Structure 1
Amino acid sequence: MHPLILLSHPEKTLLPKIELLRSIGVSSSDLITIISSNPFLFKINLKKRLIPCYDFLKSVLLVDEKVLKTFKRSSQDFLSDATNTMAPNIALLRQLGAPPSTISLLVTNYPRPAFTKHAKFVEVVHQVMEMGFDPTKTVFVLAIQVLLKMSKPKLESRLELYKRWGWSKDMALAAFKSFPNCMLSSEEKITKTMDFFVNKIGWPSANIARNPCVITLSLEKRIIPRCSVVQILLAKGLVKNNLALGTFLQLTERIFLEKFVIRFRDDVPDLLNVYQGKMSSGCRISV
Structure 2
Amino acid sequence: MRHFICKTLAQNGAISSYTIYVPWIQTKRFVSSGLNSPEKQSLTVSYLTNSCGLSLEQAISASKVVKIGDTEKRDSLLKLFTSYGFTKAQISSLVSRHPPLILARPETTIRPKIEYFRSLGIRGPDLPKIICSNKSILLASLEKKIIPNLDFVKDIVGTNENLVYALKQSSNVFRRNIKKVMVPNMATLRAHGVPEQHVAKLVMMQPRSLLLKTDLFKEVVCAIKEMGFEPMRPSFILAVKCMATISKVKWEKKKEILKSFGWSENEFLSAFRVQPMLMVCSEEKIKDVMDFMINKAGLKPSDVGRCPNLFLTSMEKRMIPRFAVLQVLMSKGLVRKDRDLIWALNLSKQDFEKRFVIQFMEVAPEVINAYQLKIGGDGFSN
1:47 equivalenced with 2:165 (yes/no): no
Alignment of 1:1-287 (within 5 A): 1=94, 2-76=98-172, 78-236=174-332, 238=334, 243-253=339-349, 256-280=352-376
State the distance in 2 between where 1:191 and 1:170 align.
Answer: 19
Q: Which consecutive unaligned segments of at least 5 residues does structure 1 have?
A: none
State the distance in 2 between where 1:206 and 1:192 align.
Answer: 16
SS for the counterpart of 1:28 is coil
State the distance in 2 between where 1:44 and 1:251 align.
Answer: 47
Structure 1 range deviating more: 199-208 or 158-167: 158-167
Structure 1 range deviating more: 204-213 or 194-203: 194-203
State the distance in 2 between where 1:216 and 1:193 align.
Answer: 10
The answer as to whether partners of 2:319 and 2:345 remain within 8 angstroms in 1 is yes
* Equivalent residue letter for 2:313: L
SS for the counterpart of 1:279 is coil
The answer as to whether partners of 1:41 and 1:76 remain within 8 angstroms in 2 is no
| Number of residue pairs the alignment of both structures matches | 283
CA RMSD of aligned residues (A): 2.9
State the distance in 2 between where 1:28 and 1:186 align.
Answer: 30
Change (3 A) 1:31 1:159: closer
Q: In the TM superposition, what whole-angstrom CA distance separates every residue of 1:96-117 from its partner, at most 9, and x where no partner exists? A: 2323443344223323222222
Q: In the TM superposition, what whole-angstrom CA distance separates every residue of 1:5-55 from its partner, at most 9, and x where no partner exists? A: 344344433333223222221213322222233342122212221111121
Deviation at 1:137, TM superposition (A): 1.6
Deviation at 1:153, TM superposition (A): 4.7
Structure 1 range deviating more: 101-110 or 169-178: 101-110
State the distance in 2 between where 1:179 and 1:104 align.
Answer: 20
Relative contact order higher in (CA < 8 Å, ≥ 6 apart): 1
Higher fraction of helix: 1
Change (3 A) 1:254 1:27: farther
Deviation at 1:206, TM superposition (A): 1.2
* Equivalent residue letter for 2:154: K
State the distance in 2 between where 1:16 and 1:282 align.
Answer: 57
Change (3 A) 1:254 1:16: farther
The answer as to whether partners of 1:71 and 1:79 remain within 8 angstroms in 2 is no
TM-score (norm 2): 0.65
The answer as to whether partners of 1:34 and 1:71 remain within 8 angstroms in 2 is yes
State the distance in 2 between where 1:107 and 1:239 align.
Answer: 46
* Equivalent residue letter for 2:131: I
The answer as to whether partners of 1:40 and 1:76 remain within 8 angstroms in 2 is no
Deviation at 1:157, TM superposition (A): 4.2
Deviation at 1:150, TM superposition (A): 3.7
The answer as to whether partners of 1:17 and 1:42 remain within 8 angstroms in 2 is yes
Change (3 A) 1:228 1:67: same
State the distance in 2 between where 1:60 and 1:279 align.
Answer: 52
The answer as to whether partners of 2:329 and 2:367 remain within 8 angstroms in 1 is no
Structure 1 range deviating more: 62-71 or 139-148: 139-148
The answer as to whether partners of 1:166 and 1:205 remain within 8 angstroms in 2 is yes
SS for the counterpart of 1:86 is helix
State the distance in 1 between where 2:126 and 2:281 align.
Answer: 30
Change (3 A) 1:33 1:152: closer
The answer as to whether partners of 2:209 and 2:244 remain within 8 angstroms in 1 is yes
The answer as to whether partners of 2:251 and 2:279 remain within 8 angstroms in 1 is yes
SS for the counterpart of 1:167 is coil
Q: Which consecutive unaligned segments of at least 5 residues does structure 2 have?
A: 1-93
The answer as to whether partners of 1:50 and 1:80 remain within 8 angstroms in 2 is no
Deviation at 1:61, TM superposition (A): 0.8
Q: In the TM superposition, what whole-angstrom CA distance separates every residue of 1:175-228 from its partner, at most 9, and x where no partner exists? A: 121122333445554344323222322222212111122234333332111111
TM-score (norm 1): 0.83
* Equivalent residue letter for 1:198: I
Structure 1 range deviating more: 43-52 or 233-242: 233-242
Structure 1 range deviating more: 191-200 or 207-216: 191-200
Deviation at 1:126, TM superposition (A): 1.3
The answer as to whether partners of 2:271 and 2:307 remain within 8 angstroms in 1 is yes
Change (3 A) 1:59 1:102: same
Change (3 A) 1:267 1:101: farther
